[in-house]
Amino acid sequence: MEYLLVKFRENRSVIIDDHEQGKTNEVIELVGGQHSVTLGGKVDYLPTEQTVVINTTSVVSPHEIQFT
Amino acid sequence: MKYNSLNSSMKRLGLLTLCLTLEACSSYILNQPLPSYAPESGYRFPEPGQTKSANSDSLFICLAFSGGGTRAAAFSYGVLEKLRNTQITWKGKKIKLLDEVDCISGISGGSFTAAYYGLFGDRIFEDFRPRFLDRDIQSELFYQLLNPLNWPRLASPKFNRIDLATELYDDTVFDHKTFDNLIHRKNRPYIILHATNLSSGERFEFTQDEFDLLGSDLTTFPVARAVTASSAFPFLLSPVTLKNYPEPQNFKIPKDITNGLSSYRGDRRFWHWAVRQNDYLNKDAKPYVHLMDGGLSDNIGLRALENAFRWGPIRRGISNNLIEKLVIIVVNAKTDDQDAISRDAVPPGLSDVAYKTTTIALDNYSFESIETMRDLTNQRKQVQDTLAVCNSRLNLCHAQNLFPNLSGNIDPVIINLNFELMPDPQRAKYLLSLPTSFSLPENAIDQLIDAGTELLDHSPEFQSLIQELNPPCKAETCP
C-alpha cells in the first residue's frame, strides 16, 4: 500500500477518485498508482482537483500535496 | 374412418400447439438494459457511514462462503447459526454477533446460503434445511431433464440445462425474488454473489457496479439466476449468458477505472482490475458475457473482500475512521481427495487429469487468497503500531513535530475455518471426504452444521474476539 498526505489550512474530508477517503493533514493509506484528489465542503481552494501518481512511499514519508 | 382421421389431426394440432407454446418459453432469462446511469442507486456495496442501520460500522464483519455444493451450503449455514447464538456487547449494546455482519461473499454452494440469508434474514433458521439442504437437488434436476415436456425447450439453442436449474431454484428456493428485493430489505449484510467470466477467466460480481459496465439493470435480475451462474459446475451445467448492452447516454466511466488504467507502474493489481472492468465497455468485441461457476476464479469468495479492502468501501470505512474492528471469517469447505492417484503405478486417466488440473489451481488460489488477506491486514496493523511507537519516542525527546496521524486505525481479525482444523481427527477425515454434490445424507448435513459451531468454538481468534466483545462485568454492574 502507499501513503498520501493532503495539506490544507483546515480539517476537511479528502475526496479520492470521487469517494470520501480520509481527512486533510492526516496520512491516508491507499493503493498505489494514479488518483484524482479534491476536497469536500466549500470549493474555496485551488487547484480544484489534483491528479497524483503515488508509488514508493511509506507512512513516515508519504506523497505530499497541498491545496491553498 | 373419417372420425379416426379427424381425431389424429386434432392430436397433431394439439401436439403442434404444445410444441409452439413450449418453444415460446425456450429462451433463457435475459438481463435487462439500464434506462439511465445512476451511480448513487442500485445494488452496490453500501459505503460505511451512509446507511441507517442498527448494525454498526465500527464493528465491521464480513463472511466468505466457499464453493463445495451442499457441503459448503450446510457448513456456512452452521456458521450463521453459531453467530446467531453468540451474544456480544458492542458500544454498550447487547446484540447477536450475526446482527453485526455487514457483508457476505458467496461462491457456488456457499452462494445459496448467502443469498437465502440476504433475502429472508432469520427465516433461514426455520426453513432453509427442508427447502434446500435436505433436498436431493441433483435428482430433481435430473427428473426435469427426463420430463418430455422439457424436451422441445431443451432442443432450442437458447435453452439449456442451466435454465432448468434456474427455474427449479427460482420456484422452490428463492421465491422469484430479484435483486430489487435485496435492495428493499434495507438491511445488512450486503451479499456479493460471484461467477466466472468464461472468456477472460475473471471474477464476475452480481453488483450494479459490474452491471453498469454491461449497460444493464441488476434490479430486475432474478437472484436464482445469479446463484445458478455461481454454481454452474463445468460440463454438468451450461454457462449463463448476459447481454452486454450499449451504455445509457449519461454513463461516465468511474474514476477508479480511468485512474486504474493509468496505474500500471503504480499498482499492477489495481491496473489489472481496471483493464478487466474496462473490457466490458468494448461492446462490439464483447456483445455477450458467458458465466460459469464462481469457484473457477475464486473458490472462497475472498477476492471481492480483498478488493474492497485495497480500494473499495472497506478501505474508505477505515480511512474515514468508521471501522474500528474488522473481522473476516472465511468458511472454507475444501476437501481432501485422499490422494488416490499417488497410490497407482498407472498414470491417471483423462478424467482424473481434467479434474485435478481444475481443482489444483482452485485450492492453490484459495490458500494464497487467505494468506494475502492475512498479510494485508497484518501490514496495516504493523504500520499503525510503528507510527505510534515513532511518535511516542519523539514525544519522549520533546520533539516539536510528530509524524502526522494515520487516517483511521483498525484492529483486524482474520478467522479461517476448514475441516482440517476439526479437533477430532475422525470427524475431520469424514468431513474432508464428503463429495461436492447437491445431495447429501441427513447425517452428513447434521455433522456439517455442527462443524460450524465446533470450529468457531475451537478457533483461538474467535474465542479471543468473543472475550474482548464480552468483557467481564464490574461487580456493581453484574446481573
The confidence band for B51, taking pLDDT boundaries of 50, 70 and 90, is: confident
**B272: nearest CA partner in chain A:** A33
Range 23-52 of A in CB contact (< 8 A) with B: 23, 25-36, 51
Q: Does B251 touch chain A (CB under 8 A)?
A: no
How near does any CA of chain B get to the CA of A23, in Å?
7
Listed range (B141-155, B164-178, B305-319, B354-368) with the worst mean pLDDT: B354-368
Judge: B387–A59 Cβ closer than 8 Å, yes or no: yes
Q: Does B47 touch chain A (CB under 8 A)?
A: yes
* Contacts with B263 from chain A: Cβ below 8 Å: 31-34, 53
C-alpha grid cell for residue B335?
Answer: 476437501
Phi-psi region for residue B206, left (φ > 0), alpha (ψ -120 to 50) or beta?
A: beta
How near does any CA of chain A get to the CA of B105, in Å?
22
> Above 70 in pLDDT, residue B176?
yes
Residue pair B272/B59 in contact (Cβ under 8 Å)? The answer is: no
Q: What is the pLDDT of residues B199-253, one digit of tens each?
A: 998 999 999 999 999 999 999 999 999 999 999 887 778 889 999 999 999 999 9
Contacts of B153 (CB under 8 A, 6+ apart): B22, B23, B25, B26, B159, B163
The total of other beta-carbon atoms located within 10 Å of residue B392's CB is 10
Please say whether the dihedral angle defined by the alpha carbons of residues B356, B362, B364 and B367, taken in this order, is positive or negative.
Answer: negative
Range 53-82 of B in CB contact (< 8 A) with A: none
Top pLDDT among B357 and B256 is at B256
How near does any CA of chain A get to the CA of B372, in Å?
13
Quick one: pLDDT at residue B158?
A: 77
> Above 80 in pLDDT, residue B316?
yes
> Above 60 in pLDDT, residue A27?
yes
Quick one: pLDDT at residue B109?
A: 95
Q: Does A10 touch chain B (CB under 8 A)?
A: no
What is the per-residue burial (b if ≥16 Cβ within 10 Å, else e) of B29-64? bebeebeeeeeeebbbbbbbeeeeeebbbbbbbbbb
The confidence band for B21, taking pLDDT boundaries of 50, 70 and 90, is: low
* Contacts with B319 from chain A: Cβ below 8 Å: 21-22, 28-30
Q: What is the pLDDT of residues B414-469, one digit of tens each?
A: 999 999 999 999 999 999 999 989 999 999 999 999 999 999 999 999 999 999 99
Quick one: pLDDT at residue B60?
A: 96
C-alpha grid cell for residue B344?
Answer: 497407482
Judge: B311–A35 Cβ closer than 8 Å, yes or no: no
How near does any CA of chain B get to the CA of A12, in Å?
11
> Above 80 in pLDDT, residue B17?
no
Q: Does B394 touch chain A (CB under 8 A)?
A: no
Judge: B270–A20 Cβ closer than 8 Å, yes or no: no
Q: What is the pLDDT of residues B257-312, one digit of tens each?
A: 999 999 999 999 999 999 999 999 999 999 999 999 888 888 899 999 999 999 99
The confidence band for B15, taking pLDDT boundaries of 50, 70 and 90, is: low
The confidence band for B26, taking pLDDT boundaries of 50, 70 and 90, is: low
Q: What is the pLDDT of residues B324-353, one digit of tens each?
A: 999 999 999 998 765 677 778 888 888 778
Judge: A26–B266 Cβ closer than 8 Å, yes or no: no
Mean pLDDT along residues B34-44? 94
Quick one: pLDDT at residue B188?
A: 86
C-alpha grid cell for residue B139?
Answer: 435428482
C-alpha grid cell for residue B381?
Answer: 496493523
Judge: A34–B383 Cβ closer than 8 Å, yes or no: no
Q: In a mutagenesis test of the B interface, which of A8, A19, A65 is the best target, namely the one with the most B β-carbons within 10 Å?
A: A19
How near does any CA of chain B get to the CA of A10, in Å?
14
* Contacts with B254 from chain A: Cβ below 8 Å: 17-18
B407 closest CB neighbour out of A18, A26, A54: A26
ipTM tops the 0.90 cut: yes
Residue pair B281/B253 in contact (Cβ under 8 Å)? The answer is: yes
If residue B364 lies in a helix (H) or strand (E), which one and from where to where? helix B350-396
Pairing relationship of beta strands A13-16 and A33-39 according to DSSP bridges: antiparallel
Mean pLDDT along residues B117-125? 96
Q: Does B322 touch chain A (CB under 8 A)?
A: no
Q: What is the pLDDT of residues A5-21, one digit of tens each?
A: 999 999 999 999 999 99
Q: What is the pLDDT of residues B133-149, one digit of tens each?
A: 999 998 999 898 888 88
How near does any CA of chain B get to the CA of A41, in Å?
15
Q: Does B348 touch chain A (CB under 8 A)?
A: no
Contacts of B202 (CB under 8 A, 6+ apart): B196, B276, B297
Q: How far apart are CA B297 and CA B301, in angstroms?
A: 9
CB pairs under 8 A between A and B: 104
Judge: A59–B386 Cβ closer than 8 Å, yes or no: yes
